[in-house]
Structure 1
Amino acid sequence: MLTFNEVRSIFLSYPELKETQSGDRYSYSVRNSIHRGKLIAREIRCNQDGTFYGYISSKYMSTQTKLKYVDHTDSRGMIKIKTFSNLELHNVIRDAIFSMGHVAIDDSATVS
């Protein structure tokens, strides 16, 4: 399981994202979203044991992409990322960024 610091580093590795902090919670938005809503990740927060919890929005994802995350999606359309591996987190972030504007994503942040 990833730690909060690892998760934050992964989000910060994407230049397309802008980080904001409110208290002990972090959120990430897509700088050049074609949609009115720019927020893709919210409530990213560190637990006392160094682990984290948080959500990624599936609002603008295609139906096919949403199906990839159906087992992790709640009734709000938010994908719970707490149990995601490094690769799974990179994949969902890339899918969320793509859904926000079909922009090319810098592959230097990709993990194999």
Structure 2
Amino acid sequence: MLNFNEKLSIIESFPQLERKDVSLGRVNFHFADSVTEKKNVVYHLHPNGNGFVYAGELAGYQTDAKGMVNIRDFSAEELRAIIGEAIESLSPKTVEEAAVAGEAHEEKWINNDGHTLLLIEEEDMWNVYAGLNLDGTFNSYGEAAEYLEEEGFRLLS
């Protein structure tokens, strides 16, 4: 388990987050550019190492009623991944994402380094995009999802 200072160091490595000291030595980190009313990405990081990260928009995490995940036992890699995913889920779409997806069904996939790819259904095919660049075309959703998982990506939203 990471201690308070190790978690703090990882969280502070995300320049998008703004530190807010709260009571009892706890610390919150806000994402001011959030497209939702939800601004707290890290909530009540406590000197004992306990704390929460907002994952209400993410798939694959067990959240409480407020969409928070307890990070007490997270490794450094897990903590970086969930914070990166949380920020991405609260960020506005890029111009490239809006241009590529339009009104089509889309999913955003992310890897542990924070890189994202879009999976979009277009004319009975499933296309994977890296920005405006087509990365791959698949006959079924299952094939596309399998490819993304093999490349180390997981569904973000």
Instruction: Report the TM-score range of the alignment, normalised by the length of the smaller protein.
Output: 0.7 to 0.9
> Quick one: distance in 2 between partners of 1:45 and 1:103?
32
Structure-1-length-normalised TM-score: 0.76
For residues 76-95 of structure 1, the aligned pairs below 5 Å read 76-95=66-85
Provide the identity percentage: 31
| 1:102, distance to aligned residue in structure 2 (A) | 4.4
Q: How far apart, in 2, do the equivalents of 1:88 and 1:36 lie?
A: 25
Number of positions where the alignment pairs a residue of Structure 1 with one of Structure 2: 95
CA distance in 2, matches of 1:46, 1:86: 17
Local SS of the residue matching 2:83: helix
Could you tell me which of 61, 67, 71 is aligned with 1:69? 61
Q: What secondary structure does 2:44 align onto?
A: strand
Match of 2:7 in 1: 7
Using the size of structure 2 for normalisation, the TM-score is 0.55
Whose RCO is larger (CA < 8 A, sep 6+)?
Answer: 1
CA RMSD of aligned residues (A): 1.9
Structure 1: runs of 5 or more not aligned: 105-109
Uncovered stretches (5+) of structure 2, i.e. residues with no partner: 95-112, 115-157
| Equivalent-residue separation in structure 2 for 1:21 and 1:83 (angstroms) | 22
**Could you tell me which amino acid in structure 2 is paired with residue 33 of structure 1?**
S
Aligned to 1:107: none
1:17–1:31 Cα contact (<8 Å) kept: yes
Matched, 1:20 2:17: no
Letter aligned with residue 56 of structure 1: V
Q: Distance in 2 between matches of 1:6 and 1:99?
A: 24
Q: Which protein has the larger Cα radius of gyration, Structure 1 or Structure 2?
A: 2
How far 1:18 sits from its partner (Å)?
Answer: 0.4
Report if aligned partners of 2:42, 2:54 keep a CA contact under 8 Å in 1.
yes
More strand by share: 2
